Amino acid sequence: MEAQAPFSGPQQWKAQLSRNWDVLGPFPIHAREQQFLSPSFPLNLSEPIDFARTWPSSYADQGRVGWTKTQATAEGDLKVSFPNIRWSDLRATEGWAALQHHAVLHTNITLYPPHNPDPAATPRLLVQLIQGSYIAIVPASDSEVVSPPEWHAGNIYAIERTLPRAIELPSPPSTTSPTTYHVFVSGDYEARIRLFGDPKLGRTPIQSINLTIDVETPSHSVNLEPTQDVICDFVDGYAFGDAIGLGVRSRTGWWTVTDAVLAASSEDIRVELLRPTTIAPSQTRIVPLRIVQTAQFSKPKLEMNITLTSDIDTNLTISAVLPITHLPRWSEKTLSAINGSYFYVQEMPTVFTVFPPLLENVAHRPPQPPILCLHGAGVDISQTFWIDSLPRQQHSWLIAPSGRTSWGLDWHGPSAKDAWGSVDALVAILDAHPAWHPRKLSAGTPVVLMGHSNGGQGAWYVASRFPDRVLGVVPAAAYIKSQAYVPLLMSRSAHFIDPAARAILESSLTPDDNDLFLSNLVDTPVLAVHGGSDDNVPVWHSREAVGVLQTWNPEANVTFREDARQLHWYPSVLKNDQVQTFLDRILQTSSLPRPRSKSFTLTVAVPAESGSLHGWKIERLSVPGRLGRLTVHALTDNELRIVTSNVEQFTVRADMLNIGSLYVNNKLVDFTIGSGVIAFENDGDRVWKGRESARSKTASTQASARIQSLLSTTAPFRLVVLDNSSSRDISLALRIAHDLNAYHRLDSELISGCTGMQDLGDGAGNILIIGDAGSPVLAKMLESSKTPFRVENNRLAIRDTILNEPGLGILFLHPHPQNINGQILFLLSTDASGLERAGRLFPIRTGVTVPDWLITSSRAEQTGAGGVIGAGVWGTGWGWNEAMSWLY
């Protein structure tokens, strides 16, 4: 059997995907390098495919590889391997890095028309690609003009509840005979074991990919998507949270949700639509609803009616049902895990899981802080595995945030923001109902951090970025940073890129490098746990992290527990007497003053993403993109000496300055102690001045050091297409909206057509603007010269370089016009191929090396980051930063 069974759409279009696949590879790459390279590397899809040709590859004997064949199952499962490669020899010298490789996969799909098709209703494909990087559908007819293919990201992490993506056909199918299209998949084996598993020494690595394709005929209607719904549990009849989300997808047309009411009216419970929610054609959004309750509710489901209006003034009412899990009133015998909900950054319904303390709070004592528990990669908190693996506590809540999804952003950016949001949400939920006050928490409560695997890495990350809010850390089976987990040794880009440019690109990894920030934990109790025979994250990671911390302070309160012969996961990794004793010691003394070393160093990469250490906070760096450090020496009870490195401004709580004299870089500084925050600023002549300042009004002028910071939006994104007649621009906006929802459950509103900054809305969320680098609208937007990018004679320019070369993809951050803490990302191009190239660099995943601005050329198709012709980090005030910029 050569083809899968045909898939049928509502109007009986049928799609038949061949089970026979052509495979070209393997080619060495490193993690995330496929974002820079063409997904079809080394092929040029504008040329006919020569299945007899070979290409250079250093992995193969004689240094060349050609096409081979494999076959998928009827269910779409595809195994890709290269048994003729001597993997053991490669691994013996390069380790896991040598297992990473790229392959191009090819097959065909054929569409069969119904007997009487509607000529105005062109079918589209609904594609689910699991554990593949990218997919493209290309016309098979050699007579058709081949434009750059649209590459759609696959669900490479196999994230649960991810919807198929809608892909428009590159050319209309025949309505009278079958039409065949090429299907290309970028298959990338990531030896970060989390994707495909360690093949073990001597075995062949195997990519396990699944591809299923259905066919859909667009109709002017909407669908409910129950897998996207968000609902909290009810405890003793009361909602454990106020956020509800309803998944709604537009089949075609623009639809706006304008109202939502419960089907059965009640004075005791109702739902409120937070705001009208507009859904673009083929887009899915999670409509945010607030639940308002004044009495107990015991029914097994919430039934509601949703009203929508379309762009052609069509009204529609649909009914939705949300099942409810009811839990009994708490007692020592009825405690169980609870799913709570809250609105992440104002409007995004989000679920987190908690387990109550076994006992109520002790009378006349402050509530005991909670334990914030970060799950490993691929762990879905809707399942009970993670919460059941945690040690129960007498007086502390266990909080398991989602991190946005089971993979999230490795507990960085929005994932870290979600972790803190879950803590604050639990505080508010418990405060809202008097019956829950015996187990309530204090507002702004500190936490103890605990995590396993990726969550252990996340525990190191969150604790070292926000040390004043963390009482102690238990990182288990944690890796230090991604480049140490699987090194970037087999980089293709490295053979072509200027090392100076490479250094600037890789500076965008600096904020995630946990080892660089361990100075911030010298006064924080740490118990690192690791299995001595861990075959996923080698035990040396925890040993090294502990050693680095002890280098900063040999007397640091850090303990290492190595469990001999244990692998990556084992039931006692967190449930053991040593962990519990460590937790008891911290939690029982949490209300006492925290110890503070005579000397300590605060290390920061991005001030906006870092908190304070003993009340000291770096607010602004002298050279953004480089590390900033502030060392405090308490030489006597009456004198403090501060040493700064790459720091332009810092603040300190006034209660930390009960001293007589303060020296900064050996110079006495005058200041007046108030009741709030004291800001110290370098005036440019190495003279430091102190003044009282409300920190809430002190905005860091370094918004970021990388484009990834855009993901830390304060409200749903606005995705703006400058030219509403460009189908490719709209397609890219829809692709990014799908990826934001799939990978991070981040919401996006599409805006088609824009005449200037005034069309960008009220300024609540970050903005992505997609368009032509020569657009007149772009020229108007950039006329205020907020960054070094400008438009001259309908051509984009930076410094003395005019960007008019074909195939350029240009990305740069820009200050938000209404929100001092917000950002705009311009994603521009000089043609269609440049747009595809820039779109792949939108940093959906961690490890994509895109600093504040980047220009990539057509040479990237074959040389990866070697095709970058400009990159950098903005300086203070969004200006040119000579030390952190590279331009060819």
- Structure confidence at residue 133 (pLDDT): 97
pLDDT confidence tier of residue 658, bands split at 50, 70 and 90: confident
- Over residues 54-66, the mean pLDDT reads 98
Report the alpha-carbon distance of residue 705 to residue 875 in Å, rounded. Answer: 9
Burial of 628 (0-12, 13-18, 19+ CB in 10 A): buried
**CA-based end-to-end distance of the chain:** 53
Query: Which segments within 688-764 are labelled E, that is strand?
Result: 688-693, 717-721, 748-752
List pLDDT tens digits, range 599-613: 999 999 999 999 999
Structure token pair of residue 403: 């991190």
List pLDDT tens digits, range 187-202: 999 866 667 878 887 8
Least confident residue range of 150-164, 595-609, 671-685: 671-685
More confident of the two residues 49 and 703: 49
More confident of the two residues 574 and 752: 574
pLDDT(697) > 50: no
Topology (CATH) of 337-484+512-590 = Rossmann fold (3.40.50)
Q: Return the axis-axis angle of helices 727-744 and 832-839, rounded to nearest 10°.
A: 10
Burial of 462 (0-12, 13-18, 19+ CB in 10 A): buried
- CA-CA-CA-CA torsion sign (100, 102, 103, 108): positive
Give residue 131's region: left, alpha or beta (phi > 0; psi -120 to 50).
Answer: left
Confidence (pTM): 0.96
| Number of Cβ atoms within 10 Å of the Cβ of 33 | 24
Residue entry with tokens 């993997």: 87
List pLDDT tens digits, range 130-140: 999 999 999 99
User: Which residues fall within 8 angstroms of residue 592, CB to CB, at 6 or more apart?
Assistant: none
**Over the chain, what is the mean pLDDT?**
93
Least confident residue range of 19-23, 123-127, 534-538, 759-763: 759-763
| Buried/exposed code over 743-776 (b: 16+ C-beta within 10 A; e: otherwise) | bbbbbbbbbbebeebeebbebbbbbbbbbbbbbe
- Over residues 617-639, the mean pLDDT reads 92
- Over residues 501-528, the mean pLDDT reads 98
List pLDDT tens digits, range 278-288: 999 999 999 99
Report the alpha-carbon distance of residue 463 to residue 455 in Å, rounded. Answer: 12
Class for domain 707-887, per CATH? alpha beta
Nearest to 386 by CA among 394, 245, 218, 378: 378
User: Which residues fall within 8 angstroms of residue 198, CB to CB, at 6 or more apart?
Assistant: 96, 191, 535, 536
CA distances from 584 to 288, 339, 452, 580 (A): 39, 26, 19, 6
pLDDT(230) > 80: yes
- Structure confidence at residue 696 (pLDDT): 41
Least confident residue range of 505-519, 563-577, 623-637, 795-809: 623-637
- Structure confidence at residue 143 (pLDDT): 58
- Structure confidence at residue 4 (pLDDT): 52
Amino acid at 266: S
- Structure confidence at residue 700 (pLDDT): 45
Report the alpha-carbon distance of residue 631 to residue 433 in Å, rounded. Answer: 45
pLDDT confidence tier of residue 764, bands split at 50, 70 and 90: confident
- Structure confidence at residue 142 (pLDDT): 65
Structure token pair of residue 309: 């209006």
- Over residues 218-239, the mean pLDDT reads 95
- Over residues 363-377, the mean pLDDT reads 96
Q: Are strands 795-798 and 801-803 parallel, antiparallel or unpaired?
A: antiparallel
- Over residues 467-495, the mean pLDDT reads 96
- Structure confidence at residue 698 (pLDDT): 43
Report the alpha-carbon distance of residue 405 to residue 387 in Å, rounded. Answer: 16
pLDDT confidence tier of residue 687, bands split at 50, 70 and 90: confident
- Over residues 463-490, the mean pLDDT reads 96
- Asked if residues 292 and 272 have their Cβ atoms less than 8 Å apart, the reply is yes
pLDDT(7) > 70: no
∠ CA 114-119-120, rounded to 5°? 125
pLDDT(96) > 50: yes
Question: Would you say domain 219-329 falls under CATH 2.120.10.30?
Answer: no
User: Which residues fall within 8 angstroms of residue 864, CB to CB, at 6 or more apart?
Assistant: 29, 33, 36, 37, 491, 492, 493, 496, 497
∠ CA 28-34-37, rounded to 5°? 90
Three-state SS for 810?
A: strand
Report the alpha-carbon distance of residue 495 to residue 241 in Å, rounded. Answer: 53
Percent of the chain with pLDDT over 70: 96
DSSP letters, 423-477, are HHHHHHHHHH-GGGGGG---TT--EEEEEETHHHHHHHHHHHHSGGGEEEEEEES
- Asked if residues 355 and 335 have their Cβ atoms less than 8 Å apart, the reply is yes
- Over residues 572-593, the mean pLDDT reads 96
pLDDT confidence tier of residue 660, bands split at 50, 70 and 90: confident
- Asked if residues 70 and 21 have their Cβ atoms less than 8 Å apart, the reply is yes
List pLDDT tens digits, range 426-455: 999 999 999 999 999 999 999 999 999 999
pLDDT(782) > 70: yes
pLDDT confidence tier of residue 760, bands split at 50, 70 and 90: confident
